[in-house]
Amino acid sequence: MDTASTRKFVGQILHVEDDDDDAELTTIGLAQAAVPLRVHRVKDGIECLAFLKHEGDFAGSPRPDIILLDLNLPRMDGREVLDAITQDPTLCKLPVVVFTTSAAERDVSWSYQRRCSSYVVKPVGFEDFQKALRVVTDFWFDVATLPVAND
Amino acid sequence: MGIRDLLDPAVDLAAIIDVVPNAIVMVDREGRIVLVNSQAESLFGYARNELLGEPVEMLVPFALRGAHPHHRAAFERSPKSRPMGAGRDLYGLRKDGSAIPLEIGLSPIRTESGIYFVSAIVDLTERKRLEARFRATVESAPTAMVMIDQAGTIVLANAELTALFGYTRDELLGRKIEILVPNRFRHAHPGLRTQYFGERVARRMGEGRDLFGIRKDGTEFPVEIGLNPIGTDEGMFVLGAIVDLTERTHQAQALRAANEALEHSNIELQRFAYVASHDLQSPMRTIAGFVELLGSRYGEQLDAQARDWIQRAVHATKHLQAMVRDLLEYSRVDANPRPFVRVALDEVFDETVAMLRAAIDESRATVVREGNLPVVEGDRSQLAQLLLNLVGNAIKYHGEEPPRVSMSGGKVDGEWRFAVADNGIGIDPRSHEKIFEIFRRLHTKEYPGTGIGLAAARRIVQCHGGRIWVESAPGRGSTFYFTLKSDPEGGQLGHGIHA
């Protein structure tokens, strides 16, 4: 099985988050991962799609292995992003982990209906926050097999 | 065919006249009494020999005596059977001087010896008395009352009615009832009247409609009207009782407004609670996170003092987060009471023990249920929170020995009474009331907690119509008692009571 750990591999994470503090704490949390990771941060839905399509400022952007997506974003929120990704044949394979403060039933159902890979409510306590990120990276980069790029 | 021919010859006509239940007095052209029957004797209090040959005016009260001969003369001029004194109240004078109200029917009778006048006299005393009693009742009634005839004319109006509508009695008697009805309904009212006279049923008027009355000064007000048909020998009348609904309407509106305000206030409160939980927690996590990272990443470069301060800052943020979380829990207790359902407390107890597994194992506690707990009516999640708080406390506040906690419950004096007993550190009697206050803690250093548990427990118990108290002494363990309202036999499920 060709998992990330058997190759010289640097995982690429696209983190879509508007709050700078949360973004920083998330980056620190992700740094605990067993595999080397590169975290790319964008601040809203528009930047996210530009990154995924390698457009404008993000011309040379790499294809991310997973997307960590907050739902409540300015300009274009995570829900619209999820919609756009699901409907785009070149993007729909990308695993999207919704990582948000909202625990609303409505948001959870909606996200899974749009085929998000999983939905994680940002833990309130800092320790739990760290632990959640550790578990996410362990799962995606050590247990699961990631889809191969075709573009 | 004469009367005599109708009868058996053996029957004495004279005897019949004598026993007829109406008083009969016959007078001649000069107005002298020529015949009286037994009823006339008892009605006027005379023996017949005191009356025969005397002028009939002796039976007429003094005040009316002067006019009486004229009435006799008028009758003689056009003698035909008719009631006497149409439109007048007639009175007779008894031997003892008292006047009695009478109804008199007159008939002329021609004989060979001339014309005589026969009067049949009915004593109206009883009838007048009853009528007077009726009028007095209506007059003194605390409700406005009005009586109309079939033409809709007001024939009776009590004091309350005149006060309510601002008319004097004279301004109402003889007028049509429609003057009390606002213009826009006036047109349809006569039709409704006619319909009611056909029904003749005692009932409320205008079921399902809003009714209004209009005062003399033109102001309108809402009313409730009850109708009663009254049959008399003068014809059908309708008695209406009118209640001014202005006060009731105001109160209903005030109640509605108060409820709306309460509803808004509740919504505001819930929004506040949501903000407290949701929006505050993100920055709290940020503070906790960065301070903790400060400690873990730079701890070695800092002196012991700095590390200590960082430690205490982290501890405080954790406490803050716990308080906010608990405050949210507490405010949710009566924010939106759910309808009560049947709750099996046995199950809730077992679930509570399962949730406290970690704490139980860590402190090597024994938690038992003594006997079966009843099925009660209430809000399941609130009752679960209640048990969690009480049993959790019982485990937490232990001394040297491993905690032993037991819960029991049963019916006492018509309500459900429960006890959660422990062998823990106990509570000083001086603090038995204080501990139920929000954020009030007795052992801040030695035992963790936010001080909401018992305050929330009390809120929940109160929402269920009960009370909570403790029996305890330092070093002697504690038993927390609480009651829940017991539903009446075959009772209905209700909503929580706001404390």
DSSP string, B362-391: HHT-EEEE-SPPPEEEE-HHHHHHHHHHHH
Residue in the block written with tokens 């359902």: B341
> What pLDDT score does B336 carry?
58
CB nearest to A124's CB, from B292, B293, B321: B321
What number does CATH give the domain B3-123?
3.30.450.20
How is domain B341-484 classified at the architecture level of CATH?
A: 2-Layer Sandwich (3.30)
Taking the whole predicted model, whether its pTM rises above 0.80 is answered as no
Chain A CB within 8 Å of residue B128 CB: no
Q: Name the strand (E) or helix (H) holding B257.
A: helix B246-298
d(CA B423, CA B356): 17
Count CA within 13 A, CB hemisphere, residue B212.
11
Do residues B388 and B352 lie in contact, with contact meaning Cβ atoms separated by under 8 Å? Answer: yes
Backbone angle region of A87, left / alpha / beta, with phi > 0 → left and psi within -120 to 50 → alpha: alpha
- Kindly report the number of other CB atoms within 10 A of residue B197's CB atom: 16
For residue B297, give the chain A residue with the closest CA. A28
Query: What domains can be seen in chain A, in order of their start residue?
Result: 14-142 (3.40.50.2300)
Percent of chain A at pLDDT > 90 equals 70
Chain B residues with beta carbon closer than 8 angstroms to that of A28:
289, 293
d(CA B456, CA B331): 9
Burial B328-341 (b: 16+ CB within 10 A, else e): bbbbbbbeebeebe
Give the minimum alpha-carbon distance from A124 to chain B in angstroms, rounded to a whole number. Answer: 6
Q: Give the angle B120-B126-B130 at the CA atoms, nearest 5°.
A: 135
What number does CATH give the domain B249-332?
1.10.287
Chain A CB within 8 Å of residue B293 CB: yes
Do residues A68 and A48 lie in contact, with contact meaning Cβ atoms separated by under 8 Å? Answer: no
Which letter does DSSP use for residue B176 in this model?
B
Chain A residues with beta carbon closer than 8 angstroms to that of B289:
21, 25, 28, 126, 129
Instruction: Name which residue leads in pLDDT, B422 or A105.
Output: B422
Q: Give the angle A107-A111-A117 at the CA atoms, nearest 5°.
A: 135
Chain A residues with beta carbon closer than 8 angstroms to that of B298:
none
* Residue B65: both structure tokens together: 């005596």
Please name every residue paired with B226 in a beta bridge, in sequence order, or none if there are none: B204, B241
> What pLDDT score does B319 carry?
83
For residue A103, pLDDT over 70 is answered with: yes
CB nearest to A21's CB, from B278, B286, B325: B286
Residue B292, classed as helix, strand or coil, is: helix
pLDDT digit string (tens) for A34-58?
889 999 999 999 999 999 999 999 9
Q: Give me the amino acid identity at B162.
A: T
> What pLDDT score does B494 carry?
43
Contact state of A19 with B278 under an 8 Å Cβ cutoff: no
pLDDT digit string (tens) for B50-80?
999 999 999 999 988 888 998 888 888 888 8
Pinpoint the residues of chain B covered by CATH 3.30.565.10.
341-484
d(CA B373, CA B349): 9
d(CA B257, CA B222): 19
> What pLDDT score does B337 carry?
65
Write out the DSSP string of A65-90. SEEEE-S--SSS-HHHHHHHHHH-TT
Residue B486, classed as helix, strand or coil, is: coil
First to last CA, chain B: 92
Give percent helix, percent strand, percent coil of chain B, each to the nearest 5. Answer: 45, 25, 30
For residue A4, pLDDT over 60 is answered with: no
Do residues A25 and A77 lie in contact, with contact meaning Cβ atoms separated by under 8 Å? Answer: no
Do residues B420 and B390 lie in contact, with contact meaning Cβ atoms separated by under 8 Å? Answer: yes
Give residues with Cβ within 8 angstroms of A91, minimum separation 6: A52, A84, A85
Chain A residues with beta carbon closer than 8 angstroms to that of B321:
124-125
- In chain B, which residues have pLDDT < 50? 489-499
> What pLDDT score does B113 carry?
87
Instruction: Name which residue leads in pLDDT, A138 or B490.
Output: A138
d(CA B105, CA B81): 7
Q: Give the residue among B404, B354, B410 at the shortest CA–CA distance from B384.
A: B354
CB nearest to B286's CB, from A25, A101, A123: A25
d(CA B242, CA B212): 10
> What pLDDT score does B495 carry?
43
Contact state of A129 with B282 under an 8 Å Cβ cutoff: no
Kindly tell me the sign of the dihedral angle through the C-alpha atoms of A138, A140, A141, A143.
positive
Give the minimum alpha-carbon distance from A141 to chain B in angstroms, rounded to a whole number. Answer: 25
> What pLDDT score does B270 carry?
65
Give the minimum alpha-carbon distance from B275 to chain A in angstroms, rounded to a whole number. Answer: 12
Mean pLDDT, rounded, for A109-129: 91
CATH topology of domain B128-244: Beta-Lactamase (3.30.450)
Do residues B268 and B245 lie in contact, with contact meaning Cβ atoms separated by under 8 Å? Answer: no
Prediction ipTM score: 0.76
For residue B283, give the chain A residue with the closest CA. A21
Contact state of B288 with A126 under an 8 Å Cβ cutoff: yes
Q: Which of B279, B280, B285, B296 to mutate to test the interface with A (most CBs of A within 10 A)?
A: B285
Contact state of B285 with A126 under an 8 Å Cβ cutoff: yes
Kindly tell me the sign of the dihedral angle through the C-alpha atoms of B180, B182, B186, B192.
negative
Please name every residue paired with B107 in a beta bridge, in sequence order, or none if there are none: B118
> What pLDDT score does B39 carry?
92
Backbone angle region of B207, left / alpha / beta, with phi > 0 → left and psi within -120 to 50 → alpha: beta
> What pLDDT score does B487 carry?
64
Pinpoint the residues of chain B covered by CATH 3.30.450.20.
3-123, 128-244
* Residue B252: both structure tokens together: 């209903």
To the nearest 10 degrees (0 to 180), the angle between helices B453-463 and B304-332 is 0
pLDDT digit string (tens) for A70-101?
998 988 889 999 999 999 999 999 999 999 98
pLDDT digit string (tens) for B328-369?
777 766 655 678 899 999 999 999 999 999 999 999 999 999
d(CA B307, CA B321): 21
d(CA A98, CA A121): 8
